[in-house]
Structure 1
């Protein structure tokens, strides 16, 4: 077994292969020199830590050795020879495979406007180490992009005393996959923290000491960080003749058109049964975990279709945002007030089926509710909208009714 990509999905797949009983060689190839580590802390704890941060390793060298997993780090895969069933590395080696998993992840989307070379990005642990010295009191920081990375960076920077301006070209922040009602709560919290949040305006250019907007106004900047999304790493797959559709195209079992090659994690665009086979690519920690484990089982011939509900989260200040499912599939929305500033939004398809749930507020108020909503989505439930709207009706009661099982504790 060969796995290309030593991130969360690749590491999880490697360990899952051993857990599932595979006792033959496993090789995990990664371009970074670091053993596989978690990315979510990079925009949070790694920037806020008082002392020099350490990567949160998910598969250490010692653990890999104990599982007899060969870690090949600091080396890129350059080609896949499908006829010979081998992966070619930058050092010239060819690794034979019986099954191959592509867990190549994604890279930051780069700016192309004049002065773009001055912008910094955050994707890898070394990026976080490079950004930390910039985040200090009095630094004037411009962040380009109002998605999760840009907003989490803004929250960390303002907590470290920076003067932060965030510029988003779209009409609002969090345009992708987050309802406007929840995005407004997050925007208000950032403004309350002192962030100058500007939406609906393009950037003309970046100068050595400023960002110039399309309306001619200038924002003085000591540093500029861009967080405008990521691009799935598909070049290896494309060169090998595999289909790409906003990611490496895979079926519900994570298999490509080549039955011995699979893809998982940020690079994989999966046909999801819960959403009528719609091809979905999710950039989220838990998705990488779920797909890594599923890919391992299917590399061993299990033939399991993906069942996990898409889920992602973001922590900003004291607020947690969590979304289960795909909100854009919904045709109607039902709100539930959880109190203490927490709210849930339920998204229903035209046939009444619950297809997504969005929540924002303190973690303790929304995490369990989103988890129960996720289970309702997985069961293809179509709850009564009035019941969803009423805090007096517990979601675990709706779930128990759907599953005809005792209520969950």
Structure 2
């Protein structure tokens, strides 16, 4: 490796780790430093609410980077470290222990943090799920004979509910909206997910708000707006996440629902980039609408693109937004932005599986959502994602009757 300050990456999650790997895979010759606040090496987060809670024995999620990979690629990893400040003029970051690390270019992949429940008592029986340690601390509660209350009917809350119920726990989901998965998931799919949960013994209570929470060493008592109450062994709170923008604000960077970047993932300060859950960016498929995505695919894709631009490239980010969730034996997938669609067309795939095509006012395909057992919808969702990326305006008849969606793709 050549000398020089090189690239410093603040945030050692999926996005930061993928950026570090991509820099080396592209032949970047200068130092690469990856700084994380956890003791663990970078790991995959999707298993935290699924496989890690379901495992019969203590286990860890798959690593993104290992000690061997770090050594072989010459990536410096600094764990259990907090970056307290960025000095854009001096091109350095300041750690909480007083160390100053110089950089030629800086990438912020600081991620997001769970939204905290206001006025909740401090108790080990009120849990949040974001890190491996969070999952390992929650896991002993996920067993037969316990009652798990889940506040929030979004992806994370429902994944925890499904995992807990699969291990025999009694589960109640509390959602203040009139239905679960209100944000970005079509009602038809949300209804199927709710039916799936109820069929598996999960109690789902929508349209109720929490009035008061009390907790002691034995129970959590939750008072609700419908005059009913819930007594549980533990309360898992999943009410959304907030981007970690503290460092960006301290450094004077522009912030707009996350660290504001352009289509090359550049911030408002020279030589500083941001990617993943912490940043908002304009998307060319949706009229440069500014988005912030909390998704594994986005973190991976933006980490790879940021690496290319840190190494001197000028690539623009235009990947189709993609989300997925496992709910018992079903998989839910969404490609694109559902709320951009005005017309919805359904394609049935058999065995109860289906996908919904979302078309805008000009009949362009802007999103596809689907649900089915196992990998039942995987092929059609992948082809649909390609159709969205190519800005296809298919006929409704073709969407519902074509033997294969591949036939709708333009020929090379």
Indicate the TM-score class for this superposition, using the shorter chain for normalisation: over 0.9
Report how far residue 259 of structure 1 moved. 3.0
Residue in 2 aligned with 1:273? Answer: 284
Residue in 2 aligned with 1:28? Answer: 34
> Which structure 1 residue ranges, 5 or more long, are not aligned?
none
1:211 matched to 2:222: yes
Residues 297-328 of structure 1: CA distance to partner in whole angstroms, max 9, x if unpaired? 01122111112100010011110000000000
Q: For 1:210-229, list aligned pairs within 5 A.
A: 210-229=221-240
Residue in 2 aligned with 1:126? Answer: 133
Residue in 1 aligned with 2:144? Answer: 137
Residue in 1 aligned with 2:346? Answer: 335
Residue in 1 aligned with 2:241? Answer: 230
Report how far residue 61 of structure 1 moved. 1.6
- With normalisation by structure 2, the TM-score equals 0.96
Report how far residue 393 of structure 1 moved. 3.4
Structure 1 residue matching 2:179: 3-state secondary structure: coil
- With normalisation by structure 1, the TM-score equals 0.96
Structure 2 residue matching 1:176: 3-state secondary structure: coil
Aligned counterpart for 2:328 among listed residues 296, 309, 317: 317
Q: Aligned partners of 1:380 and 1:114: how far apart in 2?
A: 47
Report how far residue 73 of structure 1 moved. 0.4
Residues 47-103 of structure 1: CA distance to partner in whole angstroms, max 9, x if unpaired? 000111123110112211110000000001110001001011111111111110000
1:244 matched to 2:255: yes
Residue in 1 aligned with 2:376? Answer: 365
Q: Aligned partners of 2:375 and 2:144: how far apart in 1?
A: 31
Report how far residue 389 of structure 1 moved. 1.9
Report how far residue 114 of structure 1 moved. 4.4
Q: Aligned partners of 1:362 and 1:191: how far apart in 2?
A: 16
Q: Aligned partners of 2:172 and 2:61: how far apart in 1?
A: 28
Residue in 1 aligned with 2:181? Answer: 174
1:163 matched to 2:170: yes
Structure 1 residue matching 2:127: 3-state secondary structure: coil
> Which structure 2 residue ranges, 5 or more long, are not aligned?
1-6
Report how far residue 364 of structure 1 moved. 2.4
Report how far residue 249 of structure 1 moved. 0.6
Aligned counterpart for 1:345 among listed residues 334, 356, 378: 356
1:95 matched to 2:106: no
Asked if structure 1 preserves the Cα contact closer than 8 Å seen for 2:331 and 2:375, the reply is no
Residue in 1 aligned with 2:407? Answer: 397
Report how far residue 216 of structure 1 moved. 2.2
The range that moved more, 204-213 or 28-37, is 204-213
Aligned counterpart for 1:385 among listed residues 373, 385, 396: 396
Asked if structure 2 preserves the Cα contact closer than 8 Å seen for 1:32 and 1:74, the reply is yes
Structure 2 residue matching 1:364: 3-state secondary structure: coil
Structure 2 residue matching 1:335: 3-state secondary structure: strand
Q: Aligned partners of 2:311 and 2:147: how far apart in 1?
A: 53
Q: Aligned partners of 2:147 and 2:376: how far apart in 1?
A: 35
Report how far residue 222 of structure 1 moved. 1.2
Aligned counterpart for 1:17 among listed residues 13, 19, 23: 23
Report how far residue 335 of structure 1 moved. 0.7
Q: Aligned partners of 1:14 and 1:280: how far apart in 2?
A: 24
Residue in 2 aligned with 1:6? Answer: 12
Residue in 2 aligned with 1:300? Answer: 311
Structure 2 residue matching 1:41: 3-state secondary structure: helix
Q: Aligned partners of 2:390 and 2:229: how far apart in 1?
A: 52
Residues 242-299 of structure 1: CA distance to partner in whole angstroms, max 9, x if unpaired? 1111111111111111231111111111111111111111111111110000000011
Q: Aligned partners of 1:114 and 1:18: how far apart in 2?
A: 45
Q: Aligned partners of 1:105 and 1:225: how far apart in 2?
A: 20
